[in-house]
Amino acid sequence: MREPDCLFCKIIAGTIPSEMLYSDDQVIVIKDINPQAEVHLLVIPREHIVSLKELDASHDTLMAHILRLLPKLAEQQGLSEGFRTIINTGRGGGQVIFHLHVHLLGGRNLPGFG
């Protein structure tokens, strides 16, 4: 389940510290260490899934859980005007950490695309 060399698996295991905002049996939510906007969170499944490409039907409940969690997190962060979500997939998509995660961004300094 956990990959020994995966940074996010280590954060989930607690061997690397992080600023954790939310946690349940399926996901953790941490602050991005290098925020690209006033609010920049990462929603990370506890299961080591490499990317969107590795999803199968067994992950449907997890992915629905993540999608429904996002607006709740945004509200908790005071993002009443809205928020942006990004999932980078593969090197060509800008993915750097190969453990699936959803970026939640909002507030001041929201970056544009490209």
Distance from C-alpha of 105 to C-alpha of 17, rounded to nearest angstrom? 21
Considering the complex, state which of residue 82 and residue 94 has its C-beta at the smaller distance from ligand 5GP: 94
Has 101 been annotated as catalytic? yes
From 48, 99, 101, 103, active-site residue = 101
Token readout for 8 is 């996010």
- The footprint of ligand 5GP on this chain (CB under 6 A) covers a number of residues equal to 12
41 forms bridges with which residues in the sheet?
31, 104
Touching ligand 5GP, residues 4-33 (CB under 6 A): 7, 18, 30-33
The sign one gets for the Cα dihedral 89, 93, 99, 103 is negative
> Between 78 and 107, how does the x/- string for binding to ligand 5GP read (CB under 6 A)?
----------x-----xxxx----------
Burial-class residue 5 by CB neighbours within 10 Å (0-12, 13-18, 19+): exposed
Considering the complex, state which of residue 32 and residue 38 has its C-beta at the smaller distance from ligand 5GP: 32
* Residue 84 binds which of Zn ion, ligand 5GP, none (CB < 5-8 A, kind-dependent): none
